[in-house]
Chain A
Amino acid sequence: MLELPEFYALPPPQRDQRLITAVMEQHEWHYSRNVAYRRHCTSRGIGARISESDFARVLRPTAQTFKSYVGELGTAFPQDCPADFARWLAEQISVEVLPERWRGLRARYGSLEALLAALEVLFAVEGWRIATSSGTSGRASIMVRDEETFSLALDSFFLGIQHAWGIDLDYRLIFVMPEQTRIAMAQAARFGTEKLGYAARGQVAYTVPFPASPDVIRIRAARTLRPGIRGWLERQIAAPFMNWMGEHVAMPRSIRGTVDALRQSAIAGEKIMLFGGPIQLHGVALALRRDGGLDLPPDCLVGTGGGMKEAYAYSYTEIRRDIVSTLRSGEQPIRIRDVYGMAEANWGSFECPEGHYHLPPWLYALVLDSADEVIAAPDAEGVLAFFDPFGGGKLFPPFFKTTDRVHLINGGRWYDPARACPCGEPTAYIEAGSIARADLFDESGCAGQV
C-alpha cells in the first residue's frame, strides 16, 4: 500500500486509477463490518460490491453522519444515555465492539465532555480519540478515531502544511486556539505537534487560555440548551457569563499572549507559523496595529482556518488586509494562507499562492449536481464530495458528501493538464473564492417557514 507522501510523485492518471480501485476495495471492507454504513447503502440499493457508477450513492453527508445520534437517540445530550450512545458509536465504526466493553460506563454523566473522556479511557487500548465539529449549533458531530486513523490524520495535516506552505521542523508554531479542546482541527494541531516533536522542543504555543469543551461551546452559542430549569440557567446565567468572559477575559488574554509570543519570536529571529480563526487573528492584527505593527523574520506565515462562524463586522478579505498591513516578514508583506477542511475529514486543503485550495493527491474528490449525480468534468461546480481511501483510516468509511458548493478543477478522474493550477501543483483544486454553503436555498413560491 502506498504511503501518503508517495502520492505527490504519482502522475494524475495513474493516481486516479489507484484511488478508484481503493475506494471499491474499502467499500467492500467496510460494508461487511460497519452497521451504519451498510444500512445507508442498503437504503440506496447498494450491496457489498460497487462499481464506479455507484460512487455517488455510497457517500454519506457530513452534516448528518456523525450527528445521527440526535435523531437515533432522540436527544442532543448523549451524556443522559451513555450506554445508548456507546451502542450508536459502535454502529458507526468498522470494528466489532462488544457491549461488555461499555458496561463500565455510568448511568449518566454531568457533561458531554465527561462522557467522551470516559469512553476514551475505556478504549485506551485502541487509542481512541474523540473529536467534535465546532458544534456551534449545539449538536456537534462526534467522531471517534483510533490510533491508526488518528496517526494518518496527523500525517496528512502536517504533510500538507509542509508541502503546500513549506513549514518544516524549524518553525515555531503559534496557535490562537485552546490546547484543551476536541474541535477536530485544534485537536490535530495539538497531537500533531506532539508527534512531530514541536512540543518537546518548546516550539509550540497555544494562546487561548481556557479549555473549550463541547459543553462550553454549546452553552455559549445558546442554540441548543438543556430542558427545564437547567436550560433556563444556561440561557440566563451561564451563556451571558461565558460570553462576557470570552469577550473581556479570554479574548484579551489570547491577543496579549499571541502578541507576546510573536514579539519573542521576532526578537529571537525564529521563523513562525501563526495559525487561528480569522476573527481571532483579526484581534491580534488590530492589537499590533496600535503598536505600529511588527516585522518578523523572513519566511513566516499566517494560516487561517475554520471560516467565519459568527457574525462579525469585517469580511474575511478585510481581515486579511488588516493582517498584511500590520504583520511583515523579512520586511515583506507576510504570507497569509487559508486552509479548508471539516471535522469529518482526515485532510486539509491548503491555499496556494494563486489563492486556490489544493486537495491532497491521495484524495479522490469530485462534485455532485443538484440531483446528487457526479459531474464528470475537469471543470465543475457543485457540492464537494470526497473519498479518502488511503488517508482516512479503517475505522469508518471515509466517503462523504459535504455541505459546501465549490468550483472544482481537475477533480475525480477528469484531470486536464491544461487546467492545472499555475502554482505548478498537479492536484485537484478548489477555485479561489468559490466555497459557499450549499444548504442555503433561495425562497420560491409562497410557502412560509417557521
Chain B
Amino acid sequence: MALNTHDCRALTGAGYWIPAALREQVLSEATLETSWGLRAQLVAPQTPGATAALWPRLRPEGWRALWEGLRAAPPVSVAALEAALQRVMARLRDPQDALHQAAATLLPRHTGFQTAMLDFAFGFFEHLPTEDLARMVNWEPPAAARRGFVPLPGMPGSVRFFDAAPLGWMRGLWASALTRPIPLPRTVVGYAAGNIPGAALLITLLGQLLNPQPALLVRNSRREPFFTPLLLAALEELDPALVANVAVLIWDYDDAALQASILREADLLLLVAGDGTIARLEEDVRRAGATPRIHRHGHKISFLAVERSFLTAERLSMVAPLAALDTLIWDQNGCLSPRLHFVEEGGAFTPEDYADAVTEALRPLSLRFPGGLPELRHLHSRFDKFQSLAVGGRATVHSAYDDPFLVVVDRRPYASATLAEAINDARDRTVIVRPVSGLEAIPRDYLRRLPARNLQTLSVALDSHGQDFLRFAEAVGRCGVTALRTVGRAAFPGLTHSWDGLLPCDLRTVRALGHYTTCEFDDAVAQIRETASKLGLEGC
C-alpha cells in the first residue's frame, strides 16, 4: 500500500486506501479491479496515455473486518495530525520526493490538470489551519447570527445564518439558540466525485476533526482516485494511528445490496458530488431505509465582483492577476471558479479596461499554468459567438483568437435564458465581464434569478469598510451565496468558514433548514494586498 514506484512506472496506482493493520484481513480473497482514466474521463482498458486505478472488490467478510477495524481505531490528536500533514505536504511539494513524483506522474494524465497547476493548488493543504478547524467544530454561532453577521472566534471574518423557512426570520425574534448539539456521529460515510484532487481528503479531514473520531469510509472518485490514497499512505508512514479509522474505497453504485449496507452503517453522509449523483444517493438512502444526516456539496456556481474603487491604476494591476488566477485554477471548472465578473461602472477605468487588464494577466499565467482540459474549439466557438455580438455593439472581445482563453465584455440585455447561457458559457477559461451600475445590482438583477441551492462563492474586490458593505453582504447571502471571499483565493477554500452553507459545527449540531454565509475577511483591501504579495502575481 505504500508508495509503489513500480506502479508509477506502469502508470498504475492504488485507487483505494485501507489502514495497514487491517489490510491483510480486509483484502483476504478480495478481487482486484482496474478503472482506467484519461483527462477526467473513464476510458477503455489500455487506452493510450490512460492511467489505471486499482481497487479491491471486498467479500462480505472483508467488509465486516473493515468496519470492526475502523471502529476500534485509537483517538487522534489534531495537533499531531496538523504536524504530520505539514510534513506530508512538504514532501508533496518537493520534486525529488517519491510522493511528489507519484502525484506528478498519475494525476495529470488521469485528471487532465497539468502538474504546475496541481503543485500550485496543493499549497492549499500546506496552509490548512487544522487547529482552527478543530476549534470551529466546537464553536456554535450565537442566535444573533440569525439577525446579522457576527464575528468568527479567533479568525478573520463573520457569519450570518439565513433560515430557509418562509417565516424563518421570525425565529430570530425569540429563539435563544441557533444550533442544538447532538451525539457525535460514530460512522461517517463520504462520497467524493469529480476530477478535482482532494475531495476524499477533505471529507477525511473533516471527519478527523471530531473528537472522538468516527469510523470513516469514503467512496473514492474514479476520475481522481490517486491523490487521497497517496497522502493517507504518507501520513500512515509517519504515524499509523493518524489514519487508522479511515478507509477510502471504490465500490459499485449499482450493487444495490452493498450500497444499502454501507448507507445503513452511516450516521452522517458527506456528499461531494454532482447534483445528479447526490439525488441518486438520496434515493439509495431512502430505498435502504437508512436514516443518516446528509451534508450535500453539489455542483455550484460562483461569481466575482469588482467595486469601482478598485478600478484605479494601482489597484487594477493588483486585482486583474488575482481575478485571472481565480479563472485559471481548475480550468474554471471548479465550484469556486468565477463565472461572471461583475464590474462596477463609474470608476477611473471602465469594465472594458478591466477586461484588457485581465487579458494581459492571463497571457503569462496561461503559460505558467497551461490548461489541461479546455478544448480550444470550445473557446473558438465562443469567440465567434461574441464576435458576432460585437458586430451588433452588444459585446467587446478582448482576447485574440489564438489565446488559450477568452475575455469579453457582455452588454446584452439579460433575459433569464441569456443569463443562464452566459453562466454556462463561462467555463474553460472564459471570462465574461458584466458591467453593473452598482454592486447592489448583483443580487437584485442576477443572483436572485438563479437557484439559491446552486450559488456558492462571490469573490470580491471591494472596500469592506464601506458603509454599504454589510447591506450588500446581507443581500447576496439572502440570494444563496454562502461565502464572500476576496479575489485570488479560489484555489484555497476556507474550510473554517462556510462550505456550501455548512459550518464545521454542523458535524455535531442540528439547526433549522437554511444556510450559513461567511465573509472570510475583516479588511478586504488588506487581504487582497496580502494575497497578491504572497502569490507574487503583481504586474503579471
The reply to whether chain A is a binding partner of chain B is: yes
Using CB atoms and an 8 Å cutoff, list the residues of chain A in contact with chain B.
Answer: 39-40, 43-45, 57, 60-61, 63-64, 68, 71-74, 368, 370-372, 383, 438-439, 441-450
Which residues of A have CB within 8 Å of B454?
Answer: 448, 450
**B381 in contact (CB, < 8 A):** yes
Q: Which of A43, A61, A370 contacts B401 (CB 8 A)?
A: A43
Rounded to whole angstroms, the CA-CA distance of A291 and B274 in the bound complex is 50
> Are A40 and B387 touching (Cβ within 8 A)?
yes
Tally of chain B residues near chain A (CB < 8 A): 52
The 6 closest A-B pairs by CB, nearest first: A445-B333, A448-B299, A72-B392, A444-B40, A370-B375, A68-B388
**B444 in contact (CB, < 8 A):** no
CB distance from B314 to the nearest CB of A (A): 32
**B165 in contact (CB, < 8 A):** no
Q: Which residue of B lies closest to A447 (CB)?
A: B333
- Knowing A43-B383, A446-B334 touch, does A71 contact B300 (C-beta < 8 A)? no
Q: Which residue of A lies closest to B387 (CB)?
A: A43
Binds A, one of B178-186, B227-235, B353-361, B419-427: B419-427
Using CB atoms and an 8 Å cutoff, list the residues of chain B in contact with chain A.
Answer: 40-41, 112, 194-196, 199, 223, 272, 274-275, 298-301, 330-335, 337, 339, 373, 375-378, 380-381, 383-385, 387-389, 391-392, 394, 397, 401-402, 412-413, 419-420, 423-424, 427, 450-451, 454
Which residues of A have CB within 8 Å of B298?
Answer: 448
CB distance from A28 to the nearest CB of B (A): 21
Which residues of B have CB within 8 Å of A444?
Answer: 40-41, 112, 194-195, 223, 333, 373
Which residues of B have CB within 8 Å of A73?
Answer: 392
Which residues of A have CB within 8 Å of B451?
Answer: 450
CB distance from B499 to the nearest CB of A (A): 12
CB distance from B456 to the nearest CB of A (A): 8
Which residues of B have CB within 8 Å of A57?
Answer: 401
> Are B375 and A441 touching (Cβ within 8 A)?
yes
> Are B375 and A449 touching (Cβ within 8 A)?
no
Q: Which of B112, B300, B419 contacts A448 (CB 8 A)?
A: B300
> Are B384 and A446 touching (Cβ within 8 A)?
no
> Are A74 and B391 touching (Cβ within 8 A)?
no
Q: Which of A45, A72, A73 has the most CB of B within 10 A?
A: A72
Rounded to whole angstroms, the CA-CA distance of A370 and B419 in the bound complex is 27
Q: Which residue of B lies closest to A35 (CB)?
A: B391
Which residues of A have CB within 8 Å of B332?
Answer: 447
Sample (8) of A-B pairs whose CB atoms are under 8 Å apart: A40-B384, A63-B381, A368-B377, A372-B380, A438-B377, A442-B40, A445-B333, A450-B424
Which residues of B have CB within 8 Å of A43?
Answer: 383, 387, 397, 401
Rounded to whole angstroms, the CA-CA distance of A365 and B98 in the bound complex is 48
Q: Which residue of A lies closest to B332 (CB)?
A: A447
> Are B41 and A447 touching (Cβ within 8 A)?
no
Rounded to whole angstroms, the CA-CA distance of A60 and B385 in the bound complex is 11
Rounded to whole angstroms, the CA-CA distance of A327 and B380 in the bound complex is 46
Q: Which of A40, A57, A68 has the most CB of B within 10 A?
A: A68
- Knowing A61-B384, A64-B388 touch, does A447 contact B337 (C-beta < 8 A)? yes
> Are B196 and A445 touching (Cβ within 8 A)?
yes
Rounded to whole angstroms, the CA-CA distance of A45 and B402 in the bound complex is 9
Rounded to whole angstroms, the CA-CA distance of A102 and B112 in the bound complex is 52
